[in-house]
Structure 1
C-alpha cells in the first residue's frame, strides 16, 4: 500500500483535491437551495408549495447516478456540453438539496408558531422573522441530520468516477486497473476518504455540543 501511495500520489492527490472542491461547492449550493426550498414547502401559495414538493419528492426518490447521468449524457445531446466534473456538482447539489429541504421544513415546524406571531406584532416583516427568528432555531434543531447529509455528500461524490469526474474514486479505479492491485488500492482510497469525512464528523459533533443541540 505504501508503494502505491509513493508511486501514484500525484494522481491520488489530484483526486483528493477535486473531491474536496466538488464537495465544498455542492455543500454550499445544496445548503442554500435546500434552505430556500424548505421554506417554500411551507408557503401559503399552494402552487409554489406543490411545485417545491414535487421537486423534493422526485429527486429524493431517484438514484443520484441517474441525475448525474442526465446532465452528463442527455443535456449535451439537446443543449450544451457539460463536463463530468460539472455534471457531478449539479447532480450532487440537486440530490442533496432535496434532503436538506425536508430537514429545514421539519425544523421550521418544530418552532412554536407563537414566535412568528409575536415577531410580526413587533413590526417585523415575515421574511425578517423567518431569517432572524425562525430559521436560526430551525437549523439548530436539525443540525444532526444536516451534518449527516454533508457527510453523505462527500461519500456520494464518488459517483463522479462514473462520468470521468477526475475525483478520488476515478483515480482510484485508474490505479487499480493499472496495477491490478485492487485490494490495496481501494483500502488506500477508503482511508483517504476518511481524511475528509472523519474531521467533518467530529466538527459536526463539536458544533452540536457547543449549541446544546442534544440538551433536554
Structure 2
C-alpha cells in the first residue's frame, strides 16, 4: 500500500468534488426519506379501507415494490424508459424509484404496528360518530408512528446507505466521488475505509436524533 501522505494529498485535492458528492447524497437521502414517509402514510391509510378492491390493490402495491430489487427498478426507469421516449435525469429517477420502494416498506411497518393496537379506542370513536379520516388522524396514526419509530429509523438509515447505488444511474453522489478518488491513485482500501467511516458517522447522527425523538414521544405518552 502507498503512503497515507500521498493519499491525503489526493483526498484534499479532490475534496471540493467529494463534498459536493456528499451533499448530493444527503440531499437525496433527505428527500426520499420525506417523500417515502408521506407516501407510506397514505398507502397505510388505504390499507385500512373497507373497499376490498382498494385494499387488495394497495396490498399488491406493497408486495410488488418490496419484492422488486431497487436496482432493477432504477435501471428500468433510467435505461428502459428512454426506449419509450421518456427521459428523466438521474436525480428524478432516484427520487421516484426510492419513494415508491420506501413507501411500501414504511406502509408495511405502520400496518404491523396497527395490528398490535388495542382496537377499543377505534371502536369507541366510531360509536361516537367520528369519521374514518378523523379516527386515522387523531387516534390511529399518532399511535402507530410512536410504535414504529425504530423501524422507520432503520428505513432512514437504509435510505442513506442504499443511495450509494445511484452512481449506477450516473448520479454523482458521495460513493461515486470516492470511487473516482480510488481510481486515480489505486489506493482502494484507504478510499473505501474513509467512505465507510463517513457513512458510519452519518448513521450515528441519525441514530442519536431518532433516540431523542423516541425519548420525547415516550415522555409525552407517559
TM-score by length of 1: 0.93
Tell me the equivalent position of 1:191.
Answer: 197
Give distance in 2, aligned partners of 1:176 and 1:83.
26
Matched, 1:94 2:126: no
- Which residue pairs with 1:8 in the alignment? 14
Task: Say whether 1:41 aligns with 2:47.
Answer: yes
Aligned pairs (5 A) from 1:41-190: 41-190=47-196
Deviations 1:134-160, CA, capped at 9 Å, x for gaps = 100011011111110111110000011
Q: Once the 2 structures are TM-superposed, how far is the Cα of residue 212 of structure 1 from its aligned partner?
A: 2.3
Q: For residue 209 of structure 1, report the CA deviation from its aligned partner.
A: 2.4
In 1, Cα distance between the equivalents of 2:178 and 2:73? 23
Higher deviation after alignment, 7-16 or 189-198: 189-198
- Map Cα deviations across residues 32-59 of structure 1 (whole Å, 9 max, x no partner): 1111111212211111111111111111
Query: Is the Cα contact below 8 Å between 1:37 and 1:101 reproduced in 2?
Result: yes
Asked whether the 8 Å contact 1:16–1:192 carries over to 2, the reply is no
Whether the aligned pair in 2 keeps the contact of 1:75 and 1:81 (CA below 8 Å) is yes
C-alpha separation in 2, matches of 1:79 and 1:109? 43
Query: In the alignment, which residue of structure 2 is the partner of 1:205?
Result: 211
Conservation of the 8 A alpha-carbon contact between 1:85 and 1:166: no
- SS of residue in 1 equivalent to 2:143: helix
Does the 8 Å contact 1:15/1:170 carry over to 2? yes
Q: 1:64: how far off?
A: 0.9
> Does 101-110 or 188-197 show the bigger shift?
188-197
Cα deviation per residue 1:65-89 (whole Å; 9 max; x = unaligned)? 0011111111222142111222122
Aligned length: 215
- Any unmatched runs of 5+ in structure 1? none
Contact 1:69 1:87 (C-alpha < 8 Å) held by counterparts = no
Query: What are the Cα deviations for residues 141-197 of structure 1, in whole angstroms up to 9, with x where unaligned?
Result: 111111101111100000111111111111111111122111111111222222321
Contact persistence 2:65–2:104 (CA under 8 A):
yes
Among 26, 30, 35, the alignment partner of 2:36 is 30
* 3-state SS, counterpart of residue 14 of structure 2: helix
The answer (yes or no) to whether the contact 1:119–1:129 under 8 Å persists in 2 is: yes
SS of residue matched to 1:156:
helix
